Amino acid sequence: MSKAYYNVLFICTHNSARSIMAEGIMNQLGGGRFIAYSAGSHPAGKVHPFALRTLEVLRVPSRDYRSKDWNEFAQPNAPVLDFVFTVCDKAAGEVCPIWPGQPMTAHWGVADPAAKEGTDEQLDRIFWDTAMILRRRIELMLALPIDSLDSLAIQREIEAIGKH
């Protein structure tokens, strides 16, 4: 599976926190070899401010992040996806659109930090913890010798990462 770069889509229900943070982290760590996007099955229409704050603390370049519908990535002019990761249990159980390119998929479920309540300090910590889980999984994926593995081996590895 050797390519110049790989397109990755992170999905959660609202596309306001987890998938946005995963998109930013993958784009930062992927070094142009991985291009990440995010979307939601029922987008909130806005990005959670604590997700943006967390990305700033991680020194992830600020982008025009937006909460978007996953159907954008099922259109004929959408990027051909190599990997699709669900990062919430609800989205994992939904019927996904047909993705161009027949990407490999895996579930990397993480608790929703946007569903938590608390002080700003508590929420900063909750979002940070979520970002660290996502970052670790992304680091594990980036460490895989993708160019030298066959599709079945890659599929096994990316599924195993979601269980860490």
- Amino acid at position 144, single letter: L
> Which are the contacts of 68, defined by CB distance < 8 A and separation ≥ 6?
15, 38, 39, 40, 43
* Secondary structure (3-state) at 134: helix
> Of the residues 8, 9, 11, 12, which is catalytic?
12
Q: Hey, is 74 helix, strand or coil?
A: helix
77 is annotated as an active-site residue: no
Q: What residues have CB less than 8 Å from 164, skipping those under 6 apart?
A: 136, 137, 140
Is residue 158 annotated as a catalytic residue, yes or no? no
What phi, psi does 71 have (nearest 5°)?
Answer: -65, -20
Active site annotation includes 96: yes
Annotated catalytic residue, options 96, 132, 140, 142: 96
The residue from 20, 60, 78, 88 that is catalytic is 88
Return d(Cα 120, Cα 64) in angstroms, integer: 23
Angle between helices 18-29 and 120-142 (to 10 degrees): 50
- For the annotated catalytic residues, the residue numbers are 12, 88, 96
